[in-house]
Amino acid sequence: MKKYKVAVVGATGMVGRTFVELLEERKFPISELRLLASENSTGEKMVSGNEDIRVQVLNGDSFDEINFAFFSAGTEISKKFAPIAVKAGAIVIDNSSAFRMDDSVPLIIPEVNPDALKRHSGIIANPNCSTIQMVVVASPLHDAATIKRIVVSTYQSVSGQGKDALMELRQQCEALFAGKEISLEIFPHQIAFNLIPQIDIFLDDGYTKEELKMVIESRKIMGLPNLPVSATCVRVPVFNSHGISLNLEFEQPIDVKTARSILFKASGVTVLDELKSNRYPTPQSASDKDEVFVGRIRKDDSIENGLNLWVVADNLRKGAALNAIQIAERMI
Amino acid sequence: MKKYKVAVVGATGMVGRTFVELLEERKFPISELRLLASENSTGEKMVSGNEDIRVQVLNGDSFDEINFAFFSAGTEISKKFAPIAVKAGAIVIDNSSAFRMDDSVPLIIPEVNPDALKRHSGIIANPNCSTIQMVVVASPLHDAATIKRIVVSTYQSVSGQGKDALMELRQQCEALFAGKEISLEIFPHQIAFNLIPQIDIFLDDGYTKEELKMVIESRKIMGLPNLPVSATCVRVPVFNSHGISLNLEFEQPIDVKTARSILFKASGVTVLDELKSNRYPTPQSASDKDEVFVGRIRKDDSIENGLNLWVVADNLRKGAALNAIQIAERMI
């Protein structure tokens, strides 16, 4: 079996660590794993299988002989170094938003639009975390009954904001329990035991960039440039895994039983919907799992053909590193 | 000024304590405050103003000479003792769901349907917490442009579940930080750093009773028996104050500027919507406040006449005790 030289850019971040863990767990055929990060992480060692790998400083020569480069170090790093990696011969799978809406860059969820992988110029974009879990569930239902409109509200965990955000949530909780003042570094407001209805910056129309991503990325992935999508994104005091409350309106009738059986068969989806035993997806049970979990599937009687669903997935896995690795797996 | 004899049933609970606090804070004209609870709380003393009041055991004689009885001790207690209080000559303002959908019982939000107070048979019902904050915001917008459909997702704090639920959230957080096992007493799943998409029991159609309440109660309060409402209710690890993501579809056009100016003038509503300074409602800033806070007011381009809004209110105050006291204030 052919083996590949793989680089992880942003290796010491939350998503970077998940990349290293999942590449090992999924036995991705690797001949060399090159871990790249900023100077701050120089000299750090990370464990992959039985190996200790020293983190290297990212620079223009980092991609020599690399076959796959997974980027997860923010938009600016992707903009600067992805073209360098492509020029060096690597295929870049980019977790930032730098290239997602670029017409020459496929935006891929392997379960949804693998065919779009055929045309690329070296860079493949990985969608936004909340978009991925929404589309993995919405797409098979769209195939059955044609989605007319989506109204989505998210409940997004802090791990999407990085390591420091996890620390901030914990430190604020501890400070509050000790009756001390909390400090704000990462989030604009207290996140402990609070809700922040803002993820990313505000745009002129009053939506956040995160909300816009859910609209435009799902349209691109599903190949429906005019799909009406209305999104509200909220940060919640959960360490990991995002929840979304998904309201779908369809052109054709679709009942709960049909929807459940479609989702039961859908790739990458696990239906968890046993109300008698209070079983439905929660972030706590979805964390460290690969699947997108869906439950609370019910008819929305406020419109002719409507469904409500509750969807939870590990935003570091399917929402980021796992989806990117699955893209690479499709390409080898 | 006439003074009234007031009873609080369930005085030692979260809402009961808020009743005692608010009756004092609002200088409700009281000649006697009778605090009633189950035998478990016998002998407990509560402070109202400069007075220590001993909690009495609720029984059939508890309502002698009482003018207003505020009930907040659960549905069973209301069903049993509200008729006794009425027979003794009291007006009952009931915070449980026991009588809310009873045709002879007005279901009141003073800012929305005060006229419905005219016809009552001794019992007035206080709506569900999340319903109140939704309708306080939706109703003035409905008056301007006629609501066609509501899609709402809630982010509900644990204080709505009582004192023990607050303890459980805190204890689970501390156990997790200490690397210990958590215990589950009140909630069916871990609530610390988690999301539970279930509030109250499940009904046959897959909705929870809480979700049904939001539908049928808002219809009754707004006098729109066929209003299409689709609700998803989720418990979040927040101590106090509920958030709701509210999507409103209207019959007539209504722009953001108009909506904002209507809400700016609306009774009981505070608009907090200054995106440049990251100002919007959060549970932390809404707690211990009387108003319903609204922000993130934006046009929903996925339909012809749509708005998205983010609404936060203190569920113990406007969502419960405050609204009930405001009802009594209207009656005196």
Q: What is the CATH number of the domain that holds A139?
A: 3.30.360.10
SS3 A318: helix
Q: What is the CATH number of the domain that holds B62?
A: 3.40.50.720
- Nearest residue in A to B282, CA atom: A195
Radius of gyration of chain B, Cα coordinates, nearest whole angstrom:
20
Which tens digit of pLDDT belongs to each residue from B189-238? 999 999 999 999 999 999 999 999 999 999 999 999 999 999 999 999 99
| pLDDT value at residue A123 | 98
Are residues A236 and A189 part of one domain? yes
Contacts of A189 in chain B (CB under 8 A): 278, 282, 284-285
**B138 reaches A (C-beta below 8 A):** no
Q: Which of A206, A228, A296 sits opposite B303 (nearest CB)?
A: A228
Angle at CA B215, nearest 5°, toward B73 and B211? 60
Q: Which of B205, B245, B301 sits opposite A153 (nearest CB)?
A: B245
| pLDDT value at residue B43 | 82
Are residues A138 and A102 part of one domain? no
**A87 reaches B (C-beta below 8 A):** no
**A234 reaches B (C-beta below 8 A):** yes
Angle at CA A128, nearest 5°, toward A124 and A133? 110
Are residues A98 and A164 part of one domain? no
How many structural domains comprise chain B? 2
The enclosing H or E element of B318 equals none
Residue A279: CB partners within 8 Å, gap ≥ 6?
A: A272, A273, A295
pLDDT at position B41 over 90:
no
Indicate if ipTM > 0.95. Answer: yes
Which tens digit of pLDDT belongs to each residue from B63-98? 999 999 999 999 999 999 999 999 999 999 999 999
Enzyme catalytic residues of A = 129, 242
Angle at CA A263, nearest 5°, toward A257 and A269? 150
The enclosing H or E element of A4 equals strand A4-9
- A249 φ/ψ angles, rounded to the nearest 5 degrees: -110, 135
Pairing of strands A306-313, B45-48: unpaired
**Is the Cβ pair A298, B202 closer than 8 Å?**
no
CA–CA gap between residue A239 and residue A168 (Å, rounded) = 10
E runs forming strands in A280-320: 292-299, 306-313
Residues in chain A predicted with pLDDT less than 50, given as ranges, are none
Average pLDDT, chain B: 97
CA distances from B130 to A50, A65, B17, B215, B232 (A): 53, 58, 20, 11, 11
pLDDT at position B42 over 80:
no
Q: Is B129 a catalytic residue?
A: yes
**A146 reaches B (C-beta below 8 A):** no
CA–CA gap between residue A135 and residue A119 (Å, rounded) = 21
Q: A11 near A36, Cβ under 8 Å?
A: yes
- Nearest residue in A to B277, CA atom: A188
CA–CA gap between residue B253 and residue B102 (Å, rounded) = 35
- Nearest residue in B to A192, CA atom: B238
Q: Is the Cα torsion angle B274, B277, B282, B288 positive or negative in sign? A: negative
DSSP line for B174-242: HHHHTTPPP--SSSSS--TT--B---SPBPTTS-BHHHHHHHHHHHHHHT-TT--EEEEEEE-S-SS-E
DSSP line for A91-108: EEEE-SSSSTT-TTS-B-
CA distances from A58 to A24, A85, A92, A99, A206 (A): 22, 11, 15, 20, 36
**A190 reaches B (C-beta below 8 A):** yes
Predicted TM-score (pTM) of the model is: 0.97
Q: Which of A189, A278, A285 sits opposite B284 (nearest CB)?
A: A189
Shortest Cα–Cα distance, A144 to chain B (Å): 21
Q: Which of A151, A195, A298 sits opposite B243 (nearest CB)?
A: A195
Which tens digit of pLDDT belongs to each residue from B266-287? 999 999 999 999 999 999 999 9
Are residues B229 and B122 part of one domain? no
Are residues B29 and B144 part of one domain? no
Residue B172: CB partners within 8 Å, gap ≥ 6?
A: B182, B183, B190, B191, B192
CA–CA gap between residue B269 and residue B311 (Å, rounded) = 10
B 262-291 residues with CB < 8 A to A:
275-276, 278, 280-285
- B211 φ/ψ angles, rounded to the nearest 5 degrees: -65, -40
CA–CA gap between residue B70 and residue B82 (Å, rounded) = 9
- B223 φ/ψ angles, rounded to the nearest 5 degrees: 65, 35
CA distances from B152 to A265, B111, B211, B212, B308 (A): 29, 21, 9, 12, 10
- Nearest residue in A to B158, CA atom: A193
**Residue A241 region by backbone torsions, left for phi larger than 0, else alpha for psi between -120 and 50, else beta:** left
Are residues A183 and A75 part of one domain? no
CA–CA gap between residue B242 and residue A194 (Å, rounded) = 10
Provide, rounded to the nearest whole percent, the portion of chain B with pLDDT above 90. 96
CA–CA gap between residue B249 and residue A154 (Å, rounded) = 20
Which tens digit of pLDDT belongs to each residue from A35-79? 999 988 878 899 988 889 999 999 999 999 999 999 999 999 999
Q: Which of B237, B295, B298 sits opposite A237 (nearest CB)?
A: B237
Kindly state the tokens that stand for B154: 């809630």
Are residues A116 and A137 part of one domain? no
Are residues A76 and A170 part of one domain? no
Are residues A279 and A154 part of one domain? yes
Torsion of CA B277, B278, B280, B284, to 10 degrees: -110
The enclosing H or E element of B124 equals strand B123-125
Buried b / exposed e along A82-119 (16+ C-beta atoms within 10 A): bebbbebebbbbbbbbbbbeeeebbbbbbbbbeebeee
Contacts of B188 in chain A (CB under 8 A): 278
Q: Which domain holds residue B49?
A: 4-127+320-331
CA A127 centroid distance within chain = 6
Give chain A's largest Cα–Cα span.
Answer: 60
Find the DSSP H helices in A116-162.
129-145
Q: Amino acid identity of A306? A: G
Which tens digit of pLDDT belongs to each residue from A188-237? 999 999 999 999 999 999 999 999 999 999 999 999 999 999 999 999 99
Contacts of A188 in chain B (CB under 8 A): 278
Are residues A117 and A234 part of one domain? no
At how many degrees (to 10) do helices A129-145 and A209-222 cross? 40
CA–CA gap between residue A269 and residue A290 (Å, rounded) = 9
**Is the Cβ pair A234, B155 closer than 8 Å?**
yes
Are residues B234 and B88 part of one domain? no
Which candidate, B67, B75, B81, B2, places its Cα nearest to that of B36? Answer: B81
Are residues B142 and B38 part of one domain? no
